[in-house]
Amino acid sequence: MPKRTDIKKILLIGSGPIIISQACEFDYSGTQACKALREEGYEVILINSNPATIMTDPEMADRTYVEPITPEAVEKIIASERPDALLPTLGGQTGLNTAVALAESGVLARYGVEMIGASLPVIHKAEDREKFRHAMERIGLAMPKSGFARNMNEVVNIAEEIGFPIIIRAAFTLGGTGSGVAYNREELNEIAKAGLEASMISEVMVEQSVLGWKEYELEVMRDRADNVVIICSIENFDAMGVHTGESITVAPAQTLTDREYQKMRNAAIAIMREIGVETGGSNVQFAVHPKTGEMIVVEMNPRVSRSSALASKATGFPIAKIAAKLAVGYTLDEIPNDITRETMASFEPAIDYVVTKIPRWTFEKFPETEDYLTTSMKSVGETMAIGRTFKESLQKAVRSLEIGRFGLGQALPEEEQARNQLLQSKLIQPNSLRLFYIAEALKNGIAIDDVHDWTKIDPWFLHQIREILEAEEELAGAQPSAELLRDAKKMGFSDRALGELWNKTESEIRDWRKRENIAPVYKLVDTCAAEFEAYTPYYYSTYEQENEIRPSAKKKIAIIGGGPNRIGQGIEFDYCCVHASFALSEEGIESIMINSNPETVSTDYDTSDKLFFEPVTLEDVLHILEAEKPDGVIVQFGGQTPLNLARGLEEAGVPIIGTSPAAIDRAENRDRFQEIVKKLNLKQPDNDTAMNVEEALAAAGRIGYPVLVRPSYVLGGRSMEIVYDPETLRSFMARALLVSPGHPVLIDRFLEDAVEVDVDAISDGRTTVVAGIMEHIEEAGIHSGDSACILPPVTIAPSMMERIDAQTKMLAAELGVVGLMNIQYAIKDKELYVLEVNPRASRTVPFVSKAVGVPLAKIATRVMLGKTLQDLGFTKTIVPKHVSVKEAVFPFNRFPGADIILGPEMKSTGEVMGIDRSFGMAFAKSQMAAGFQMPSSGSVFISVHDRHKEGIADVAASLAKLGFKILATSGTAAYLNGRGTAAATVRKVSEGRPHVVDLIKNGDIQMVINTSVGRKSTQDAYSIRHGALSYNILYTTTLAGARALAEAAKAWIEEDWGVCPLQEYYKKQNGAVIPGERSATRLVPFSVKPGRDD
Amino acid sequence: MSPFKKNRRALLVLEDGSVFEGSAFAGAGEALGEVVFNTGMTGYQEIVTDPSYKGQIVAMTYPLIGNTGVNDEDMESAGLHLEGFLVREYQSHPSNWRMTKSLRAYLEDAGKIGMEGLDTRALTRRLRRSGSMKGILSTVSRDIPSLLEKVQNAPGLVGRDLVREVSCTKPYRWNQGAPEAFGPPVGKSPGKLRVVVLDCGVKYNILRILESHGCEVMVLPAEATGRQVLSCDPDGILFSNGPGDPAALPYLVETARGVLGKMPVFGICLGHQILGQAVGGRTQKLKFGHHGINQPVKNLKTGRVEITSQNHGFVVAPESVGGKASPTFTNLNDATSEGMQMEGAMSVQYHPEAAPGPRDTEYLFSRFVAMMKKRR
């Protein structure tokens, strides 16, 4: 069947900010969908609030709305764009839920918008567990025993029938939020209550536990002619009980015979038909009893998912792209397979390698939360590796994780070893390091049977791990030989791991291998196990006979990606890498992408001329560069990961283009950077280093409290603190010296209440253009990644803007920047301080690019290729007439016990963008995009630290004037009443009931303003913030945030809000304005924040 | 044992002189055969027990083989017929609840050589480019010139009747999932359809499915004549899959001619090629054949795509049966003939019995049963 001609305009809903369980895999799928639909001549209208996505690049859709993904916003878009169809299945659960809301409220019918891909009844049938269960019964498939409960009574009744252990799953939530396993009554109460609260429809499923069963997933596609194919089977290494997003997973399935696999395949196909997914991809999960083979259906997702992104990367079959084409009417046998060209998409990929995915966790960021894995997701990213054996694939995946492990058997930290007696419990209770505990247990001689008993992991996997350990033991005990070296490389051992076994350095092993001619070969991911010729150069390495790499004679540049997403290094860097690739192809240069992250656009085989799906380690990257011999390598776009390789690459003679690694080091090295600051006569906060408590106290005394302290040689902002007094400093020092023994602690003067500014600039080596100056809303001291920011700034005076511009140019020139540069400044008492200079792409590059309408990373790439900014026509700062706000999005609700307070350590997983004509409305939009309701009436609860009382008075007054009722804790209330704003007193939790949390629960509070100072916060403050978090109440923990919220509330109440696509904003933008000339475009300043101008 | 398995080195030499090194995980000695690759990611047990692989050395493109051992239920015949088995990495610690034996033990008991450690993808690419080749697998000799000589002197598949080597020698009845000696002819039980299966190397799953459809299944040796077949008073006849060159089986073509039109006939794989010849068509050899479980086939009647299990190196030339049989299925990858229909007979090149592979086309057995019922 050919494509439909009765529809012309299609609306796509994206998935919004990167959050745990919904990450950049939906940028990958959305981008593919945009491309596929436009290729077919459809007009694509897109909504997504996430500026860091490729899909929101203005070239990707005809009209791109960076607006909050709420039914209201989408309705406004529908009203003005009048699309013919809405494709809801490519924007994750957010896209699906929003589409459902629009269909249910009648908006789609009212505007005549057809839902394509999956209809409302289909979505309901798949997502509503009761309906799904009935459907499964009709086709004779089993599900775990279960019942639905809408209150605790019902929960208990059902639980009694089923018996413990019991799984609680909240209906209509993301990534298993509000889900958990209860082994007893008490846990049942706790988990079911949270589940009922988390569910959008206040419903939980109480379910028979199939903990310990084997878990599988099938990725299925169906077209409207009822052709169904299975794209990929995935087996979970971790048994049932661990969310599939938290599991190590392997493709294809390893421990099923054909008979068992076909039974599952038949079931998946029957489910597709019964649920009625008309076109597109779905994911079906199964559990299999390890002793009897009994198979049950766990769930299905009638949309593309994290697993489908993984399956696409694992097989080379682009599920989202094909799903988009099926949605507009094509059938599978009409769509060519890009990779083989001669065959069609109507087949089932055969792969001839093993794919291993390992999630990447960041428990270290949330020390209050215990490291254990459940049916609710906590991982923030994942890495995938391809090898010809499971052992090779697993070892590559381990080093791809970038957690400092280059092999399985590498000893656990001493602290962990001391807990060896706890090994059994570490195996029983799934946790982020369980793979390594398994290795430790097997090394300690614990039997495979016992390990299996405790972990329920299939013995097949455990034997694989043991074989790696046995090999390691043999290597360690043997005289190193070329033959052993060859064998070890074949099994996936890294040079680093071999070096440790043989007491040699990584480079010694590499040199030895070179002498022995032991190098990897590259094989193609071709969807067909070499049955057909493949045309798409998507490679992985292995140690075998035949090399399939075909280096071209063209000019080529390699881009090193950022590896797995983590807090602090996410989609923003992938965005830059993808732009580099686009720019290269526009310049006619061959692009070579190296990355290990299966979620991203960068690892789409369609993005670059060549894709190497490989660990981003020095060894693996050097191999590729030696094989491809590119003319240049880009390291400044992928975040810290490629930068960490820069020196090693340079030593190996690799031509790094753009800013030199030496310059990067000059900026990153504290002492060397101080010299630059001195030389240029700039200002830095006073600072010092200390090796012990006494030195620290002396330094802090000299600098003056508060001070910002951090141990050196720890990763990204970790353990950084603001210290207000000697006592706290003492306890910090005790911890810091433990974390990083033998290294100095860095002590900086903390600029209290300073305004922080982020600057992104591009330099071609001669000319530097400031691309964007962003004013942070939160004061200095809050990690820049966690702070909201505004572009253009609203409270910084023109003269200060000029100073920022000038200093940025001086620093760029001094460092010899070629490409992108990011500087963080602080403004305090009319002084400008340089906090940090990073001569590389920053997290804010996509935001600035979208705000000013200039593709910065592309320009930077061209500059690195030797073009001048003059050549490229980018010589002046563009100051847009609209206001753009970037707001951070946090994963606190995933980490029980974590406090939502912000500090110098980054905790956000993603960001949203709000754009409008005024700051207030842009900020309001950013809050809605982040998932909060903007209140137009009701009560605001205020409880602030003494230091902030004076500042909060204006905020309270302004809110009261807007008609909000002010509620406050006794101290704050007294102060506010004294300043003329009527505030009613509300009890703290410790003061008896009804208290503030009761009010939050009852829906009597619409906004929470709660600040504290320092690391310690009282139990009362914690309860308040936790209540706000649990009930998703708009909140802020900073004074500056409170000011912005008041401004937003004002705009929300007084202005009409509308939606506008990026393309329109850019059209209205008439020419470039240089900083300092911007008084004409001056926007509404903070009406409630006095005296920040200099 | 060292995890770096190196105990028994093995060599594979192809007729074009290419050499692949590895080691033996099962068996020892030498084996000659046509080297083919199979792209199925599951189903190695069904593959090693499929009689159609007689005369062939099979390389699996999926690198890990042996993961689930071998069990009693998934046998496709009473023994092993392939000449040798090539895998990238044998799994010496199989795990599956139905497993009764390891693949290693199973191959060794049957005296077959299993080789691992070779670059199976390079081998696949070689075969894809040059077409199927003869090869020799040796654990005893490292003398490449003499191995090459042996390969080049070995007979290929073309013109060879391998059916006689795998067909049963005595008729048997398929009863409750197992062969049972064929007693004296008995009267038909009322309501049961009797199917005579000509065993050209039949896969047990064909018999299992017929039985599950309520048929009484009688299996006759391939050499049975048309008269012998008809003397069983069948309601339908099935020409099974089997190994070797279909052009080397004139006696089977003759049998087919004797029964076509007299009662419903179903041909599967080799059986399809026999029926094709019986109506006057001819067969030809494919470059490297279809061996896998992901082959898309278009049902020409419904337009639907069905994913099929396939294992054949020869096909019926479609133009050669023009006018005598109408095409019913076509392969979506290379447009080769996948099925045809004649008066009272149907045949498919692929394996509707699957095992291994998708069950998308199992409905053909129901159709065959319906054809028999209709005639009754």
Q: How far apart are CA A998 and CA A609, in angstroms?
A: 58
Q: How far is B148 from chain A (nearest CA, A)?
A: 20
Residue among B51, B94, B109 nearest B355 (CA)? B51
**pLDDT tens, position by position, B108-148:** 999 999 999 999 999 999 999 999 999 999 999 999 999 99
Residue among A518, A516, A520 nearest A542 (CA)? A520
* DSSP codes joined into one string, B58-70: EEESSSEE-TT-B
Cα separation values, A402 from A370, A398, A399, A617, Å: 21, 8, 6, 8
**Start-to-end C-alpha separation, chain A:** 67
Q: How far apart are CA A3 and CA A36, in angstroms?
A: 12
Would an 8 Å CB–CB cutoff place B46 in contact with chain A?
yes
* DSSP codes joined into one string, A963-991: TPEEEE-HHHHHHHHHTT---EE-B-GGG
User: Which one of A291, A531, A544 has the shortest CB-CB distance to B39?
Assistant: A531
Amino acid at residue number A435? L
Q: Do the beta carbons of residue A783 and residue A905 sit within 8 Å?
A: yes
- Torsions phi, psi of A46, nearest 5? -125, 140
Question: What pLDDT shows up at residue A641?
Answer: 93
Q: With 70 as the cut, is the pLDDT of residue B7 above it? A: no
Angle between helical axes of A482-490 and A506-516 (0-180°, round to 10): 110
Residue among A604, A598, A564, A577 nearest A361 (CA)? A564
Q: How far apart are CA A52 and CA A847, in angstroms?
A: 6
Q: Indicate yes or no: CB of B42 within 8 angstroms of CB of A460.
A: no
* DSSP codes joined into one string, A38-58: HHTT-EEEEE---TT-STTST
Question: What pLDDT shows up at residue A413?
Answer: 59
Residue among B10, B6, B23, B29 nearest B111 (CA)? B29
**pLDDT tens, position by position, B78-100:** 999 999 999 999 999 999 999 99
Which residues from chain B sit within 8 angstroms of residue A261, using beta carbons?
Answer: 42
Would an 8 Å CB–CB cutoff place B97 in contact with chain A?
yes
- From A471, which residue of chain B is nearest by alpha-carbon distance? B3
CB atoms within 10 A of CB A726: 13
Would an 8 Å CB–CB cutoff place A293 in contact with chain B?
yes
Q: Indicate yes or no: CB of B39 within 8 angstroms of CB of A354.
A: no
Q: How far apart are CA B282 and CA A257, in angstroms?
A: 37
Place B184 in a pLDDT band, splitting at 50, 70 and 90. Answer: low
Residue among B133, B121, B131 nearest B62 (CA)? B121
Q: How far apart are CA A92 and CA B199, in angstroms?
A: 53
Residue among A354, A686, A825 nearest B63 (CA)? A354
Question: What pLDDT shows up at residue A585?
Answer: 96
Interface of B with A in 48-77 (CB under 8 A): 61-64, 67-68, 71, 73-74
State the catalytic residue, choosing from B34, B83, B269, B306.
Answer: B269
Amino acid at residue number A16? G
Q: Indicate yes or no: CB of B4 within 8 angstroms of CB of A467.
A: no
- Is B269 catalytic? The answer is yes
Mean pLDDT by 10 residues, chain A (1094 residues): 93 96 94 97 98 97 98 97 96 94 97 95 90 95 90 93 87 65 90 83 86 96 96 97 94 98 98 94 96 95 94 97 97 93 93 98 87 89 98 98 86 58 87 93 92 97 96 92 95 96 95 97 97 94 96 96 95 98 97 98 96 98 98 96 93 96 88 93 93 93 92 67 90 81 86 92 97 92 92 95 97 97 95 94 97 97 97 94 96 82 89 96 97 95 92 96 96 95 94 90 92 70 83 89 95 95 85 36 32 30
Query: Which residues does A581 contact at the CB level (< 8 Å), separation at least 6?
Result: A559, A591, A593, A602, A607, A608
Q: How far is A430 from chain B (nearest CA, A)?
A: 22
Name beta bridge partners: B192. none
Best mutation target among B37, B290, B294, B302 (most A Cβ atoms within 10 Å) is B294
Q: Do the beta carbons of residue A851 and residue A56 sit within 8 Å?
A: no
Q: How far apart are CA A528 and CA A2, in angstroms?
A: 26
Question: What pLDDT shows up at residue A546?
Answer: 97
Place B185 in a pLDDT band, splitting at 50, 70 and 90. Answer: low
Would an 8 Å CB–CB cutoff place B89 in contact with chain A?
yes
Residue B260 tokens read as 């076509």
Which residues from chain B sit within 8 angstroms of residue A332, using beta carbons?
Answer: 305
Q: Tell me the H-state helices in A822-882.
A: 845-852, 856-864, 869-872
Q: How far apart are CA A843 and CA A911, in angstroms?
A: 10
Mean pLDDT over B191-218 rounds to 96
Q: Quick one: which H or E segment has residue A996?
A: helix A996-1001
Interface of A with B in 775-814 (CB under 8 A): none
Interface of B with A in 106-165 (CB under 8 A): 118-122, 124-125, 128
Interface of B with A in 327-366 (CB under 8 A): 332-333, 354-359
Q: Quick one: which H or E segment has residue A26?
A: helix A25-39
- Is B232 catalytic? The answer is no
Q: What is the pTM of this model?
A: 0.94
Would an 8 Å CB–CB cutoff place B304 in contact with chain A?
yes
- Is B215 catalytic? The answer is no
Q: How far is A273 from chain B (nearest CA, A)?
A: 14
Q: Do the beta carbons of residue A447 and residue A423 sit within 8 Å?
A: no
Interface of B with A in 268-297 (CB under 8 A): 292-296
Query: Which residues does A237 contact at the CB level (< 8 Å), separation at least 6?
Result: A247, A248, A249, A250, A457, A458, A461
3-state secondary structure (DSSP) of residue A176: coil
Which residues from chain A sit within 8 angstroms of residue B296, using beta carbons?
Answer: 229, 333, 343-344, 346-347
Interface of A with B in 320-349 (CB under 8 A): 331-333, 342-344, 346-349
Would an 8 Å CB–CB cutoff place A532 in contact with chain B?
yes
Residue among B202, B203, B197, B154 nearest B55 (CA)? B154
Residue among A354, A622, A656, A635 nearest A494 (CA)? A622
Q: How far apart are CA A531 and CA A543, in angstroms?
A: 21
Q: Taking the CA of residue B5 as centre, how many other CA atoms within 13 Å lie in the half-sphere pointing to its CB?
A: 19
User: Which one of B74, B124, B332 has the shortest CB-CB distance to A259?
Assistant: B74
Q: How far apart are CA A1041 and CA A778, in angstroms?
A: 6
Which residues from chain B sit within 8 angstroms of residue A487, using beta carbons?
Answer: 4, 6
Degrees to nearest 5, angle at CA A900 with A896 and A901: 140
